[in-house]
């Protein structure tokens, strides 16, 4: 039998109360406290987070429901008559979100027979999981109905039923087979088994806004906000829109058009820059050929630069398009030492053994074919790398 009377289900608005300690058990560095009655909601019971607050001024850092008991976790012991206090701002936020979820789930069910199969109430946003796929138009219609229910300021009530009596009701969702069930009702709209804390009238929810949807396990996960959270979210987005409007010197309704224009311009600039970079690297490849060291009719190029590995690879590929050329290119840039080696297709130099020696010098990771190899390492020993390659290939 439960010794903790759940005051939070009788009066969700009560934020302070007196209670009697039934037990206080030492668990090494904390205490498990059971009271004769409590206003503290247990953590993630029915998808809702715990209340925040104190007992005799001592922080309640967790609240658990084990069987029929509500267990309060504190860092210090308490006994006798104690004073309970919860943070009502946090409690009311959860009340808005949880009642809002009932209304939102009701609207999905009423309009599109979308069943809620999962619910999570988080610190910043909440989600419901539906068994249907959702479109933007479905979301729009559901938001309209949900907020109409809010505007109508319908009464939100709860009542305890036996399981047999509860299943005779037009419940939105089949309940668990418990001896007694608490049914939360939204006047004329919704009846659902629930143990959470709720507002007294739907008007207190303020607003329901769907902020994101994604496909999830064959259905849809819907992210939403209610009340003050939705207002804060609107404030944040309004400020962002205002900043973008100022930065782009345009009205808010022209931001999307301007962003698209900027993205297209940026895409063209990147393409032009890439083409220019390719032409420059082609020129550099031709110039590097002039500095080649000749041995047995083969031109060897050893160069240390500050290019990234993408440019090194491009230059090396251009150099080795001609016959009888081998190249060893090293760069030290952006806290990375990069190495690229390549040889003409008509050559069969054992570059891999040279590559492995150089790779170990810079602590590199990578590989490739016998005609093109690359790696990057964290040891800035590019000069040593070049010397080792020249020694092996030219002596």
Q: What is the structure's pLDDT at 335?
A: 87
Q: Report whether pLDDT(45) > 90.
A: no
Q: What is the structure's pLDDT at 40?
A: 96
Beta-bridged to residue 214, according to DSSP, are 221
Contacts of residue 89, defined as CB under 8 A and 6 or more positions apart, other chains included, come to none
Q: Report whether pLDDT(154) > 60.
A: yes
Tokens 């390492």, residue located: 377
Residue 190, SS3? strand
State the pLDDT confidence band at 2, using cuts at 50, 70 and 90: low
Query: What whole-number distance in Å separates Cα of residue 271 and Cα of residue 66?
Result: 62
pTM: 0.73
CB 379 within 8 A of CB 362: yes
Q: Report whether pLDDT(216) > 50.
A: yes
Average pLDDT over residues 254-260: 92
Query: What whole-number distance in Å separates Cα of residue 51 and Cα of residue 48?
Result: 9
Average pLDDT over residues 38-45: 92
Average pLDDT over residues 109-137: 95
pLDDT digits (tens, 9 = 90+) for 290-300: 989 999 999 99
Q: Long-range contacts: 319-322, Cβ < 8 Å, 24+?
A: 319/285, 319/288, 319/289, 320/344, 320/345, 320/371, 320/372, 322/289
pLDDT digits (tens, 9 = 90+) for 269-293: 999 999 999 999 999 999 999 989 9
pLDDT > 90 in the chain, percent: 89
State the pLDDT confidence band at 62, using cuts at 50, 70 and 90: very high
Contacts of residue 128, defined as CB under 8 A and 6 or more positions apart, other chains included, come to 101, 104, 105, 108, 116, 118, 119, 221, 222, 224
Mean pLDDT of the residues in the chain: 94
Q: What is the structure's pLDDT at 68?
A: 84
CB 339 within 8 A of CB 385: yes
Residue 1, SS3? coil
Q: Report whether pLDDT(341) > 90.
A: yes
CB 53 within 8 A of CB 201: no
| Sheet of 116-121, strands arranged across | 116-121, 126-130, 219-226, 208-216
Helical pair 351-362 and 382-394, crossing angle rounded to 10 deg: 160
CB 67 within 8 A of CB 34: no
Contacts of residue 312, defined as CB under 8 A and 6 or more positions apart, other chains included, come to 305, 329, 330, 331, 338, 340, 374
State the pLDDT confidence band at 1, using cuts at 50, 70 and 90: very low
Q: Report whether pLDDT(184) > 60.
A: yes
Report which DSSP code applies to 41.
Answer: P
Strands 372-377 vs 116-121: parallel, antiparallel or unpaired: unpaired
How many DSSP H helices and E strands does the chain contain?
9, 22
Contacts of residue 196, defined as CB under 8 A and 6 or more positions apart, other chains included, come to 41, 45, 46, 47, 48, 94, 98, 184
Average pLDDT over residues 250-257: 91
């Amino acid at each position: 039998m439960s010794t903790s009377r759940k005051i939070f289900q009788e009066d969700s608005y009560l934020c302070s109360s007196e209670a009697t300690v039934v037990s206080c058990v030492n668990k090494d560095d904390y205490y498990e406290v059971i009271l004769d009655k409590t206003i503290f909601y247990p953590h993630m019971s029915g998808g809702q987070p715990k209340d925040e607050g104190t007992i005799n001024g001592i922080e309640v850092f967790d609240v658990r429901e084990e069987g029929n008991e509500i267990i309060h976790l504190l860092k210090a012991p308490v006994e006798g008559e104690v004073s309970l206090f919860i943070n009502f701002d946090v409690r009311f936020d959860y009340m808005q979100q949880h009642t809002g979820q009932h209304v939102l789930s009701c609207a999905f069910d009423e309009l599109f027979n979308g069943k809620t199969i999962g619910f999570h109430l988080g610190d910043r946003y909440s989600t419901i999981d539906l068994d249907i796929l959702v479109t933007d138009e479905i979301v729009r219609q559901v938001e309209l109905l949900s907020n109409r229910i809010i505007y109508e300021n319908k009464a939100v009530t709860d009542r305890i039923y036996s399981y047999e009596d509860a299943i005779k009701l037009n419940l939105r969702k089949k309940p668990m087979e418990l001896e007694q069930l608490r049914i939360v009702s939204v006047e004329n709209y919704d009846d659902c088994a629930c143990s959470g804390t709720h507002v007294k009238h739907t008007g207190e929810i303020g607003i329901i806004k769907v902020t994101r949807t994604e496909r999830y396990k064959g259905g849809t996960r819907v992210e939403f906000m209610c009340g003050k959270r939705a207002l804060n979210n609107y404030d944040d987005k309004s400020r962002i829109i205002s900043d973008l409007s100022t930065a782009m010197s345009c009205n808010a309704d022209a931001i999307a058009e301007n962003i698209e224009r900027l993205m297209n311009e940026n895409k063209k600039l990147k393409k032009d820059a890439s083409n220019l970079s390719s032409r420059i690297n082609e020129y550099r490849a031709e110039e590097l050929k002039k500095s080649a060291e000749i041995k047995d009719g083969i031109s060897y190029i050893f160069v240390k630069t500050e290019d990234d590995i993408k440019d090194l690879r491009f230059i090396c590929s251009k150099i080795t398009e001609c016959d009888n050329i081998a190249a060893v290119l090293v760069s030290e840039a952006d806290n990375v030492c990069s190495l690229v080696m390549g040889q003409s297709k008509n050559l069969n130099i054992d570059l891999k053994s040279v590559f492995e020696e150089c790779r170990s010098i810079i602590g590199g990771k990578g590989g490739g074919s016998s005609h093109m190899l690359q790696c990057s390492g964290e040891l800035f020993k590019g000069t040593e790398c070049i010397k080792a390659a020249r020694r092996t290939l030219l002596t």
